[in-house]
Amino acid sequence: MKLIVALGNPGLKYEKTKHNTGFMALDHYLDEKGLRLDRDKFTALYAKEKVAGEDVIFMEPQTYMNESGRAVGAAAKFFKIDPSDILVIHDDMDMPIAKLRIRAGGKSGGHNGIKSIIACLGTDKFNRLKIGIRHPDKQSVVSWVLTPFNPDQQKELEASFAKVDQIIDDFIAGKDAQYLMNRYN
């Protein structure tokens, strides 16, 4: 069983902000597959689906970013999912807008959602799909991540979602992190 988690903040106020890039990417995938998050448990919206013969949990925690680990930890424990079968999709300020990078484990890189997941899982040995949102030039970090993309940035981001869809499909098909990094990084 796989657990694919997208990070963001709940509510209309945050819907199109840079910090919700993970939610946007997973929503695109679900729309393409005709799936929807139809369950509410673990302080998250989630769906349990069969994709390419594999049981998959798709999840968007409904806590704020800093407490994302509560939902991920509870679902991983409930469904008995090994951390190596978890893929977390999130924004990353240290990369250009829409650049994608896969990482297997490691520190949080200052991302509070990832810090929370590491704390709640008790390990950093889970997979990440990072989507670049660029570091702010003159704004504070908090202001930057909580503002929407401009139209050109939004187009770049949306163009990257087809590749995100491929990465998710490959992860579900059992491709390991090394394969994904070699193919997509």
Q: 21-46: buried (b, 16+ CB within 10 Å) or exposed (e) per residue?
A: bbbbbbbbbbeeeeeebeeeebebbb
Angle between helices 151-172 and 21-33 (to 10 degrees): 60
Among 97, 98, 92, 96, which Cα is nearest to 113's? Answer: 92
Q: Considering 19, 28, 90, 111, which one is annotated as catalytic?
A: 19
Q: Is 28 a catalytic residue?
A: no
Cβ-based neighbours of 108, under 8 Å, separated by 6 or more: 114, 115, 118, 124
d(CA 134, CA 178): 25
d(CA 46, CA 61): 8
Hey, which residues are catalytic here?
A: 19
